[in-house]
Amino acid sequence: MRARMKGAEKLSWSDKISRLRMRLKDPQWRRYFKMIIVGNALGVAAVMLIILAINIAPALPSLFCGTASAQTTQPATVPAAAPTTDATTAPTTAPTTAATATTPPINGADIVNPINTVWTLIAAFLVFCMQAGFTMLEAGFCRSRETVNVLVECVFDTCLCGLLYYTWGYAFMFGAGNGLIGWHDPTDATKSWFFLKNITATTTYSATGVPVLAHWVFQFAFADCASTICSGTMIGRTGFIGDILYSICVSGFIYPIIGHWAWGPDGFLATMGGQNQTSTWTYFTHFLPNFGMNFHDFAGSTVVHSIGGWIALAGGIVLGPRIGRKFKRDGGGPMLPHDLTVAVIGGFLLWFGWYGFNPGSSLSAMDFGGIGRISANTTLAACTGGMAAEFFMYMRTKKWDAGAITNGFLAGLVAITCPCYWVSPTGACLLGAVAGVIVILGVDLLEYLRIDDPIGAWPVHGLCGIWGTLSLGLFATGQFSAAGSIPNGIPDTVNTASPLYNAPLTGLFYGGGMQVFWAQCVGSFTICASTFVAAMAVMGVLKMVGLLRISKEGELEGMDLHEHGISAYPEYVISALAAPRGMPLDTVGYHPAASGNGARESELVSTK
């Protein structure tokens, strides 16, 4: 900003010094000067560090490895191969001999494992992007006065989940131990996995060939999804401290321990019916030993979505509805979302992230037939779920509802997550359409029971997670490996002599009988019931000590201002004096200026 107006005399040095003294008495100018000084200092420091790095970079190998760099060792080795009797053959035969002696043979794992690792990490990054979708979905469906709370809560939960999954969550879920909980390397009981100890860059997860650390990144993104799901039902009245405390219980204990039952190497549902047994796993690994079938959940309809959905239901029950929420049976209806644009775009981001969620769960790019089929099934279930929900809602209300179609395609995605590897595209279409109807009926059920769920987390994730899990017992075609993908190719379900052979999984509609269906019922009921009981206990304790729900005064003031001290929206939304002239009166309670450029009108609309 210029210090003088056009036509003013140029200031002398003494005038400039006097002006500087006056400005230094102003706290805002003092902060401005400090920012300039600190910024310049950081810039100079950065330049010096860059210069230093350029100068010492060539010496780093000798400093850290104790040997000379490649440029200094090469001249010493070249003369060693020089003595020869034939000047024409020496340059060609000597390097060939050296290469033959030092180059190790290449095996398939050297190529397959890196490809599968890259595939898993790309999928992990896609799943992590779902956090942006969850945040936008929740922020759009909530009221404007609790938007900042949604933003902070989603970011904080992500950071907290990552730390807890590093300390003990991953060990609980994917370490070996017994049928109820894990803690150590499945191949060596003396090596604990707490704090990711005893894991090197080349330690691979099971027989996948994917490094454990890459698998950790992928599974952290899953754990974060489960934690975020449950917050959707509890929007608008959960205190931030209460949110932190229940998130610790969810990400640190409920999700990894119960998830171990189905996905752990020795979980009792994974080994149910005498399946996947080894001589080293003996405790709690013989559940229903004569049943002949174990529980299957390819990408987490139950392990991720049902766990999150049933925790959400427990939170909604214990918290009670938001102040002012009036249900249909009492003559009211749901509180309207404040920004459907953000909510629907958030739903699309979730759909995009699902292409990492489901295909990435193969952990194998080599099973290209499997990941192609999973991707197609995921797409079709979402399409039919959205359309079924929208048409079902229109038949009842004669309105084309944006919230219904968004939750409809999310319901289809949740449902296909478990059976995506084992069903056909036609099966995906059918089970997705059923999920689209289920989610609308689930919302009606919550409304009848007077349970306040602002975004429909339980109908989408809890109910449709159950439906998707059970649908495997109906729609599994009998063409695809019961064990899922393998790291080195497409599983063979026909030729029993093939090294790629795996027995197929067949559901009721394809002549497989009820065995798979009943196994899915046992697993789904066990996980959902256990999750609900544990979540009710956690929420009940937090409510008893007064930490779960925000005060009545804070809720009426608005969580954004009460808990975070700021609104999410521009000043014209919260201040009538900043309202555009074209803004409706009932929106801002303010008469726009009738004349003048930027003039303010002092007359406010009475709200009495």
HEC per residue, 310-353: HHHHHHHHHHCCCCCCECHHHCCECCCCCCHHHHHHHHHHHHHH
Cα torsion through 314, 317, 318, 319, rounded to 10: 110
Structure tokens at 5: 């107006």
Higher-confidence position of 233 and 202: 233
CB within 8 Å of 531: residues ≥ 6 apart: 254, 258, 306, 307, 310, 311
C-alpha 292/C-alpha 310 separation (Å) is: 29
CB within 8 Å of 390: residues ≥ 6 apart: 400, 401, 404, 405, 408, 436
Q: Which helix (H) or strand (E) holds 189?
A: strand 188-192
C-alpha 59/C-alpha 238 separation (Å) is: 56
Output DSSP code: residue 34: H
What are the Cα distances from residue 546, in Å, to 150, 235, 539, 542, 543?
Answer: 21, 17, 11, 6, 5
HEC per residue, 245-274: HHHHHHHHHHHHHHHHHHHCCCCCCCCHHH
Q: Which pLDDT score is estimated for 140?
A: 95
- Identify whether the C-beta of residue 577 lies closer than 8 Å to the C-beta of residue 600: yes
Residue for token pair 């509180």: 335
Q: What is the pTM of this model?
A: 0.79
Q: Which helix (H) or strand (E) holds 163?
A: helix 147-164
C-alpha 57/C-alpha 586 separation (Å) is: 66
Question: What percent of the chain has a predicted confidence (pLDDT) above 90?
Answer: 65
C-alpha 420/C-alpha 14 separation (Å) is: 78
Higher-confidence position of 280 and 466: 466
C-alpha 150/C-alpha 157 separation (Å) is: 10
Structure tokens at 168: 């003990």
Neighbours of 490 (CB within 10 A): 16
Asked if the model's pLDDT at residue 145 lies above 60, the reply is yes
Look at residues 430, 406, 409, 410 and name the one whose alpha carbon lies nearest to residue 419.
430
Asked if the model's pLDDT at residue 268 lies above 90, the reply is yes
CA-based Rg of the chain, rounded to a whole angstrom?
31
pLDDT in tens, 550-579: 999 999 998 999 999 988 987 656 555 555
Cα torsion angle, 522, 528, 532, 538, sign: positive
| Mode of pairing for the β-strands spanning 477-481 and 188-192 | unpaired
Q: Which residues of 73-85 are buried (b: 16+ CB within 10 A; e: fewer)?
A: eeeeeeeeeeeee
Question: What percent of the chain has a predicted confidence (pLDDT) above 70?
Answer: 78
Look at residues 75, 83, 88, 240 and name the one whose alpha carbon lies nearest to residue 149.
240
C-alpha 418/C-alpha 400 separation (Å) is: 30
Q: Which helix (H) or strand (E) holds 102?
A: helix 90-102
- Identify whether the C-beta of residue 382 lies closer than 8 Å to the C-beta of residue 374: no
Write down the mean pLDDT value for the chain. Answer: 84
pLDDT in tens, 347-386: 999 999 999 999 999 999 999 999 999 999 999 999 999 9
pLDDT in tens, 193-219: 999 999 988 899 988 999 999 999 999
Overall average pLDDT of the 141-166 stretch: 95
Structure tokens at 39: 């910024």
Q: DSSP 3-state assignment of 486?
A: strand
Neighbours of 415 (CB within 10 A): 35
C-alpha 491/C-alpha 422 separation (Å) is: 12
Letter for the amino acid at 18? S
With DSSP H G I counted as helix, E B as strand and the rest as coil, what are the percentages for the chain, rounded to 5?
Answer: 65, 5, 30
Output DSSP code: residue 561: I
C-alpha 311/C-alpha 319 separation (Å) is: 12
CB within 8 Å of 441: residues ≥ 6 apart: 459
What are the Cα distances from residue 27, in Å, to 2, 36, 38, 259?
Answer: 20, 14, 16, 55
Look at residues 574, 572, 594 and name the one whose alpha carbon lies nearest to residue 583.
572
Overall average pLDDT of the 433-449 stretch: 97
Q: Specify burial of residue 253 (Cβ count, 10 A radius: 0-12, 13-18, 19+).
A: middle
Backbone angles phi, psi at 326, to 5 degrees: -120, 125
C-alpha 535/C-alpha 48 separation (Å) is: 54
Output DSSP code: residue 146: G
C-alpha 208/C-alpha 193 separation (Å) is: 18
pLDDT in tens, 175-190: 999 999 999 999 899 9
Q: Which pLDDT score is estimated for 19?
A: 75
Overall average pLDDT of the 7-36 stretch: 70
Neighbours of 308 (CB within 10 A): 31
Asked if the model's pLDDT at residue 501 lies above 90, the reply is no
Q: Given 3.30.200.20, 1.10.3720.10, 1.10.3430.10, 2.20.25.90, which CATH number is that of 111-552?
A: 1.10.3430.10
To 10 degrees, what angle do helices 212-233 and 108-141 make? 10
Structure tokens at 226: 């489960």
Q: Which pLDDT score is estimated for 493?
A: 84
Model confidence at 164, in pLDDT bands (50, 70, 90)? very high
